[in-house]
Amino acid sequence: MQTKPLVGVTADRTTIGAHPSHVTGEKYLTAVVNGAHALAVMLPALGCRQRTADILAAVDGLLFTGSYSNVEPHRYNGPPSAPGTLHDAARDATTLPLLRAAIDAGVPVLAICRGFQEMNVVFGGTLHQSVHAVQGYDDHRENGDDGLDVQYGPSHPLRLAPDGLLARLASGAQTVRVNSLHAQGIERLGDRLRIEARAPDGLIEAISVDDARAFALGVQWHPEWKFAADPLSTAIFRAFGDACRERMQNRAHAGATDAPLANR
């Protein structure tokens, strides 16, 4: 009998040596295993070669990770990217239909950084490709010359929306401090999405889905980084894990109810 929920963690498609490969950052897997207390399985970016319905039938939750690549701008009718911008068409072809289908099916979803941007895109929103180049916004990028602990250290405060999911996870706090390692950001908010938090410059940094049947949270920052050292990050992964356990238990109960009497 399965005792822990199974969480699918999205992967990027890249090349290692001469071979197309699929990779997921260890920090995401560790946060799922130790923070959500779940089993983690990497989902390759194989697009339509794997059926979305089959994935949803196999998992109890989905974590959409950050990435060095950006969502292709044609996915949200945006202008062409600047030369040298990294894209991952295979990931887009996998995650965008999967994310929307997961939320509609009541599968718990936690979307981080690129995943947060994917959540906005699948609900019809648009993205700033270079937030730092938009008048009125701050530079939200990390300094690549800094060590990881500095890059992922607290960068700026967030104003939490009163009575939102994130405010509840933050025990009613009005502001929290988060890291900041992104160039893209939300331009126009997608339909059905609720603003959970904003940066001091007004940039949307957390969203949830208004009518979602299960946990559905997107955050622009990286709560997976040393999650146990931050109360809000700990609470995010705990709540995500709890939602995944609830789905696992509901599926097990439904399976037992549907089983023939001879097998009970």
- Would you please indicate which residues are annotated as catalytic (active-site) residues? 113, 222, 224
**DSSP of 165-233, one letter per residue?**
HHHHHTTT-SEEEE----S-EESSPPTTEEEEEE-TTS-EEEEEETT-SS-EEEESS-TTTTGGGSHHH
Give the residue among 194, 225, 229 at the shortest CA–CA distance from 212.
194
Helix (H) or strand (E) holding 28: helix 26-30
Strands (E), 44-134: 61-64, 109-112, 127-128
Query: From CA 235, how far away is CA 241, in angstroms rounded?
Result: 10
Amino acid type, 250: N
Helix (H/G/I), strand (E/B), else coil: 21: strand
What are 159's two structure tokens? 């104003």
Q: Residue 61: what are its φ and ψ, rounded to 5°?
A: -175, 165
Q: Residue 134: what are its φ and ψ, rounded to 5°?
A: -95, 125
Query: From CA 176, how far away is CA 189, in angstroms rounded?
Result: 22
Amino acid type, 105: A
Query: From CA 235, how far away is CA 138, in angstroms rounded?
Result: 28
What are 245's two structure tokens? 């356990």
